[in-house]
Structure 1
Amino acid sequence: MKTARQLNERILRAMVVRTHLPAEDRERGDVPGWVLITIMTAGLVTALWKFAGPALTGMFSTAIHSVTGG
C-alpha cells in the first residue's frame, strides 16, 4: 500500500511541475508524438488503399452513376 501512495505522490508532483512550466517547454514533448501519429496514419491509409482501392473505386463509381443517372 505504501508503494501505491508513493507512486500517486510522484504522479501528482509530476503533474504539478508540468502545469507550471512555461508554454514552450510544455508543448515540446508533444511534437514527436504527433509526428508519429501522422506517419502511422499515413501508413495505415496507404496499406488499406492498396488492398481496398479497387473495391472503394468501384463503390464510388456505382454511387456516382446512381446519383447522376449515367
Structure 2
Amino acid sequence: MYAKNWMTETGVALLVLAGRCRALVLKGMERLGRRLPPLRPATERTRGDVPGWVLITLMSAILVAGLLAIAGPALERLFNQAMDQVVP
C-alpha cells in the first residue's frame, strides 16, 4: 500500500536535496570570490573514457535491479509493517 509511492517520493526528495546542496556550494564559492573553472571545449585529446563510464553505469544499474529483485518483497513487507505501527 505505501511502498508504491515510497520509492517515487524518495527519488524526488533526493533530487531536490542534491539541487539544494549544489546551490549552497555555488553560493559559498561565490561569497569566497571563487568561481568554477570554465569548461574547456571538447577536443580529440580530452574526449574521456566513454565506454568505461557506460560499462560502470550498466553494471551499477544491473546490480541495483538484482538486489531489488531479490530483496524487494522483504523490504516492502518491512516498510508496510513499520508504517502500520506508526499510522493508526
TM-score of the two chains, using structure 1 as the length reference = 0.53
Higher relative contact order (CA 8 A, sep 6+): 2
For residues 66 and 48 of structure 2, the distance between their equivalents in structure 1, rounded to whole angstroms, comes to 28
Following TM superposition, by how much is the alpha carbon of 1:58 offset from its aligned partner in structure 2, in angstroms? 0.7
Aligned match for 1:50, one of 65, 69, 73:
69
Indicate the structure (1 or 2) with the bigger Cα radius of gyration: 1
Task: Name the aligned partner's letter for residue 24 of structure 1.
Answer: A
More helix by share: 1
Please name the residue that 1:24 is paired with. 42
CA RMSD of aligned residues (A): 1.8
Q: Percent identity?
A: 51
Task: Name the aligned partner's letter for residue 60 of structure 1.
Answer: F
Does structure 1 residue 66 correspond to structure 2 residue 62?
no
For residues 40 and 57 of structure 1, the distance between their equivalents in structure 2, rounded to whole angstroms, comes to 24
TM-score of the two chains, using structure 2 as the length reference = 0.44
Following TM superposition, by how much is the alpha carbon of 1:29 offset from its aligned partner in structure 2, in angstroms? 2.2
C-alpha change, 1:32 and 1:23, in structure 2 (3 Å) is farther
Q: Deviations over 1:10-59 (max 9, x none)?
A: xxxxxxxxxxxx64132x22322221111111100111112111111111
Count of aligned positions = 47
For residues 55 and 62 of structure 1, the distance between their equivalents in structure 2, rounded to whole angstroms, comes to 11
